[in-house]
Amino acid sequence: MPFKHRVNEGLMDCSDCHNPHGTFAPSWKMGDRPRMVAQASVNEEACLGCHKDLRGPFVFEHTAVRVEGCETCHQPHGSANPRLLKRPVVFTLCLECHNGTGSGRSGAGVPLTPSFHNMADPQYQNCTVCHVRLHGSNSSALFLR
């Protein structure tokens, strides 16, 4: 894959994320975790062993990161998209959850895309221009600058 962790180049090993001798019972991602994935620290994903800046705790947490884990948006073994994202366009990834298909003001507890965000307008098609702290923020509940 064009975007991947650099295992083949020798900058990291499989055992940086995986424990070949097994692991404790799943404690993150709602208890649904692939076998042999090591924990970085107490009850944390292996990703946070290297990506310490994304660890938190944050005053305002992105629920998808806290509950579902990194693999909600990223493919750890490689992707055709930058930053190991599952989708080539960021706003399509965001709209998988923030789409309004639930009931009430927020779909199944997920804040909806505001009505003034016209998704046909290119100005609103790159969510990360304004929402820069997607993994969590200590200053903005909307993950703004």
Q: pLDDT by residue for the chain (145 residues), tens digit each?
A: 899 999 989 899 988 888 777 666 665 555 565 667 766 665 677 888 889 888 888 999 888 887 788 888 999 999 999 999 999 998 889 888 887 665 445 555 677 788 788 888 888 888 888 999 999 999 998 899 7
Indicate the domain borders of the chain. 14-137
The answer to whether 37 touches 18, Cβ cutoff 8 Å, is: yes
pTM of the model: 0.80
pLDDT digits (tens, 9 = 90+) for 25-55: 665 555 565 667 766 665 677 888 889 888 8
Peptide bond into 88 cis (omega under 30): no
Evaluated on CA atoms 82, 123, 95, 106, the torsion sign reads positive
Q: How far apart are CA 59 and CA 79, in angstroms?
A: 31
**Quick one: how far is CA 141 from the chain centroid?**
17
10: alpha, beta or left? (left if phi > 0; alpha if psi -120 to 50):
left
